[in-house]
Amino acid sequence: MRVVDSHMSLSRLNRIQPTSLLGTSRTSLSLLLNRRGESSYRGDQIFRWIHERREADFQAMSDLPASLRASLARDYTVARPQVAGRSQAGDGTSKWVLRLADGAEIETVFIPYAHRLTLCVSSQVGCAFGCTFCATAAMGRVRDLTAAEIIGQVLTLLEGHEVAPDRRFNIVFMGMGEPLDNFDEVMTAFDILTDPLGAGLSWRRITLSTVGHVDGIRRLGARQHRPRLAVSLNATTDLLRGRIMPINKKWPLAVLRQAMADFPVRPGERITCEYVLMAGETDDCEDARRLARFLHGLPARLNLIPWNPSPGLPHARPDDATIERFRDALLRRGLDASIRFSRGGEAAAACGQLVTSRDASPWRQHS
């Protein structure tokens, strides 16, 4: 995949920047402290400071000896990414543009509902998968995010919105990138977010959305401790899906469906199947019929997402009557489909509108 020249390689970067501890799991933190001649419980203490109390300054970690605070501050960092821009939609959704240590930019979205809060986080800078309806695809894949950069997004938004440390929130890996194409870092971030000594989120609050990366779905299913799974289906024939989602040529519908059928869901758990409605392409009654057949017998629930426009992309959003008709056609077949009217459209923060490369983004707004 194409690597943008101006982005320094991460290994080179690590040599000149102190290593971030934001993405270090509790176990690794304890090992790291052992190697420095400290007892492992210091690892738990520091982990708590970073993830439970969200402390960004080693010097303020008051139950650590001064010498340890000083040596940590010399060798490591818990700094957050730089905020490069922020825009807010009337519905309260806000999109943050974050600049990483190598200058790469990513977007993270804060979505408050009446009684819950969801953060939509990115897993990669850009994306390799080339879906024709998604703005991120235009960037290509620049690089994977580290677990520290994933956690950095969460901390930056929680702090920026002054979210109380005891308030629970949800995470969706539905920002830029394909999370299963960056499996290890995403899982480390998941383990940190669910650690009882950190934010302590339940796995139920974390959803990973995939383009239909079958190897990744199987790898995820084999994991004891894992987030919920969402699969972007978006089309019901191999012909159309192959045209709008190139990944379908590698893993066609039947193979994807089998991976979903084999996925070891827990009692009461459902896989979310996402289906983007695009006018004249994915929104007629035949599609609804095929969609019902695809889902029949799968432990899945359906989320219909009316396409969010992005300048230059060759698709259109169906009108409301067509969206309703599509949903009704599914209901008649006994399928419970919810329509996800994406939030944040005014701030270009809705599904499929996240893009940060200078030439690819018509939306950039800086604060």
What the block records as the tokens of 263 is: 């996925």
Q: Which residue has the tokens 């939509």?
A: 120
Torsion over CA: 78, 83, 84, 86 (sign) = positive
Residue with the shortest CB distance to ligand SAH: 352
274 in contact with ligand SAH (CB under 6 A)? yes
Contact status: 251 vs ligand SAH (CB under 6 A): no
CB 228 within 8 A of CB 269: yes
Residues binding ligand SAH: number (CB under 6 A):
17
Among 27-35, 153-161, 203-211, 328-336, the segment contacting ligand SAH (CB under 6 A): 203-211
Token pair of 230 as six digits = 């969402």
Is 351 one of the catalytic residues? yes
Residue 106 CA to chain centroid, in angstroms? 11
Residue 178 contacts ligand SAH per CB under 6 A: yes
Name the H helices within 131-182: 147-160
232 near ligand SAH, rule: CB under 6 A: yes
d(C-alpha 221, C-alpha 204), whole Å: 15
Q: Which of 78, 119, 158, 174 binds ligand SAH (CB under 6 A)?
A: 174
Tell me if 209 contacts ligand SAH by CB under 6 A.
Answer: yes
Least distance from ligand SAH to the Cβ atom of residue 158, Å: 21
Closest CB to ligand SAH among residues 45, 93: 93
Distance between CA atoms of residues 25 and 46, nearest Å: 11
Considering only 182, 234, 282, 356, the residue that binds ligand SAH (CB under 6 A) is 234
Contact between 78 and ligand SAH by CB under 6 A: the answer reads: no
Residues paired with residue 110 on neighbouring β-strands, in sequence order: 94, 119
CB of 7 or CB of 317, closer to ligand SAH:
317
Dihedral, CA atoms, 250, 252, 257, 262, nearest 10 degrees? -30
Nearer to ligand SAH, 288 or 305 (CB): 305
Closer of 58 and 173 to ligand SAH (Cβ): 173
Query: In this structure, what token pair is assigned to residue 175?
Result: 């920002």
Counting contacts by CB under 6 A, is residue 133 touching ligand SAH?
A: yes
Catalytic-role residue among 105, 107, 185, 274: 107
Is position 127 annotated as part of the catalytic site? no
Give the whole-angstrom CA distance, residue 184 versus residue 223: 12
Q: Are 283 and 334 in contact (CB under 8 A)?
A: no
Q: Find the part of the chain contacting ligand SAH (CB under 6 A) among 41-49, 56-64, 97-105, 207-215.
A: 207-215
Closest of 319, 312, 314, 304 to residue 351, by C-alpha = 304
Q: 56: which residues sit within 8 A by CB, 6+ positions away?
A: 78, 79, 80, 155
For residue 121, state whether it binds ligand SAH (rule: CB under 6 A). no
Query: Would you list the DSSP string of 206-228?
Result: EEEEES--HHHHHHHHT-SS--E
Would you state the torsion angle of the CA atoms of residues 118, 124, 126, 132, taken in this order, to the nearest 10 degrees?
A: -70
List 120, 127, 131, 351, catalytic entry = 351
Which of 32, 50, 193, 211 is close enough to bind ligand SAH by CB under 6 A?
211
Q: Which of 276, 302, 329, 348 binds ligand SAH (CB under 6 A)?
A: 276
Q: Which residues in the 304-363 window bind ligand SAH by CB under 6 A?
A: 305, 307-308, 310, 351-352
- Per CB under 6 A, which region of 5-13, 157-165, 283-291, 301-309 contacts ligand SAH? 301-309
Reading the block at residue 46, the tokens are 């520091």
Where along the sequence are the contacts to ligand SAH (CB under 6 A)? Answer: 133-134, 174, 178, 209-211, 232, 234, 274, 276, 305, 307-308, 310, 351-352
Which residues have a catalytic role annotated?
107, 351
